[in-house]
Amino acid sequence: MKIKVIAGLSCLMALSVQAEEFSPFVDKKGEISLPDDFRNTMSHLGSWYVPQGDASGFHDVYMPADQVAQYRESGQFPDGAVIVKELRHSASGAYTTGAGVSHATEMVKQTFVMIKDSQGRFSDSGNWGEGWGWALFKVGQKKNASMNYKTDCLGCHIPAKQHDYVYTEGYPTLHAK
């Protein structure tokens, strides 16, 4: 009996160690958290500018530098890769570079996160599938607001399926040598 309990405990410990090693932004239940201060600690992959609609403004995309290096080597997102996309309001005005120059402001609209899971670790959860974990963070909230990636995310990412659901054409950092 005692041995069984100890075996059970060490099994649990092994599981949690495995989850920690997988990603600092995923707990053992598969809940995704928003990385802190990613604008300062991760590499900037590229930005999109959306002129109108709900998603208008700048979409700035980041991934840790070591994972960028792995992508440049293999052309694949490594297991545990974390891609953060932050939407910001924009403002425009006349600058010494020209008229109607747009820039991102300090106001965040919302933040999206994708985490690569090439082993299907969390396939039971509504926010894991197609090789990724999917998360949306509203301003000031720490909990993933996405209920189900199939209804909240996937439809819009199908056009990028041939690049592992990522719009890689917008990320010169992934390809620069």
Could you give the dihedral angle defined by the CA atoms of residues 55, 103, 41 and 156, in that order, rounded to the nearest 10 degrees?
20
State in angstroms the smallest separation of the CB of 93 from ligand HEC. Answer: 23
Say which amino acid occupies 153.
C
Asked whether the beta carbons of 91 and 58 are under 8 A apart, the reply is no
Q: Does 167 bind ligand HEC (CB under 6 A)?
A: yes
Q: Which stretch binds ligand HEC (CB under 6 A): 22-30, 69-77, 100-108, 146-154?
A: 146-154
State in angstroms the smallest separation of the CB of 12 from ligand HEC. Answer: 29
State in angstroms the smallest separation of the CB of 132 from ligand HEC. Answer: 8
State in angstroms the smallest separation of the CB of 90 from ligand HEC. Answer: 13
Strands 82-95 and 98-116: antiparallel
3-state secondary structure 38-102: HHHHCEEEEEEEECCCCCCEEEEEEECHHHHHHHHHHCCCCCCCEEEEEEEEEEEEEECCEEEEE
Q: How many residues bind ligand HEC (CB under 6 A)?
A: 21
Q: Which stretch binds ligand HEC (CB under 6 A): 8-16, 19-27, 34-42, 151-159?
A: 151-159
State in angstroms the smallest separation of the CB of 42 from ligand HEC. Answer: 12
Binding flags for ligand HEC, 96-135, as an x/- string (CB under 6 A):
----------------xxx-------------------xx
Asked whether the beta carbons of 40 and 33 are under 8 A apart, the reply is no
Binding flags for ligand HEC, 53-72, as an x/- string (CB under 6 A):
------x-x-----------
12, 19, 24, 31, 76 from 9: Cα distances, Å = 5, 15, 22, 22, 36
Residues of the shown chain interacting with ligand HEC in the complex, contacts defined by CB under 6 A: 48, 50, 59, 61, 83, 85, 112-114, 134-136, 146, 152-153, 156-157, 160, 166-167, 170
